[in-house]
């Protein structure tokens, strides 16, 4: 099993390196609306994954895990996450790949991440009942809202392809 995971994820790290997602310079340029590659790559990867997963589920294989939305905790976490992402130029996944690539600042992001994980885990029992659970609106999907999984998928595709188009229009096209 280890080799199976190893094989598939080796390519995951390799591809995100090749698109430049492990390069904090390129990531900052994406956030500054100068370089469209990374956000377009993410949105398109989701578009194709969603279509692929849709087909996979049609064959009966279903290992999906839908996470709930908590109006307070998800929003607050997303804002804090965006601050850290904008500051460091790393997210948890790219941090591992960037360390492998040999970036020293990613090693510091990694240790900061371990500390952040430890602090959250320590206060988990205090934070989750206060911030997460009261405004937890459940494990909703676009299919639940649209009432039909086909329409749900179409809404996602329209949203995300619209996102790619918007980025193409409003982002600069710097070469990094």
Positions 136 through 175 that interact with other proteins (CB under 8 A) = 139-143, 145, 149, 152-153, 156, 159-160, 164, 168, 173, 175
Nearer to other proteins, 117 or 134 (CB): 117
Cα gap 7→124, rounded to integer Å: 34
Cα gap 165→161, rounded to integer Å: 6
Closest to 74 (Cα-Cα) out of 140, 118, 30, 122: 140
Going by C-beta distance under 8 Å and a sequence separation of 6 or more, which residues neighbour residue 65?
none
3-state secondary structure (DSSP) of residue 20: coil
Q: Is 134 in the site for other proteins (CB under 8 A)?
A: no
Please list every residue from 90 through 129 that binds other proteins, using CB under 8 A: 90-106, 108-122, 124-125, 127-128
Q: How far is the CB of 131 from other proteins (least distance, A)?
A: 7
Q: How far is the CB of 134 from other proteins (least distance, A)?
A: 14
Strand partners, 70: 136
Please list every residue from 43 through 72 that binds other proteins, using CB under 8 A: 44-53, 56, 61, 63-70
Q: How far is the CB of 157 from other proteins (least distance, A)?
A: 10
């Amino acid at each position: 099993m280890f080799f199976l995971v190893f094989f598939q994820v080796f390519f995951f790290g390799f591809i995100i390196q090749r698109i430049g997602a492990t390069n904090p310079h390129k990531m900052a340029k994406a956030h500054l609306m100068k370089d469209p590659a990374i956000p377009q790559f993410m949105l398109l990867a989701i578009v194709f994954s969603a279509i692929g997963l849709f087909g996979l589920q049609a064959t009966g294989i279903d290992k999906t895990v839908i996470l709930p939305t908590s109006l307070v905790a998800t929003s607050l976490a997303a804002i804090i996450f965006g601050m850290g992402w904008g500051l460091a130029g790393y997210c948890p996944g790219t941090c591992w790949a960037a360390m492998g690539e040999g970036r020293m600042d990613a090693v510091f992001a990694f240790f900061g991440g371990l500390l952040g994980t430890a602090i959250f885990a320590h206060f988990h029992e205090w934070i989750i009942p206060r911030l997460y659970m009261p405004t937890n609106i459940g494990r909703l999907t676009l299919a639940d809202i649209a009432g039909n999984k086909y329409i749900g998928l179409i809404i996602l595709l329209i949203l995300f392809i619209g996102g790619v188009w918007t980025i193409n229009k409003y982002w600069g096209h710097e070469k990094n």
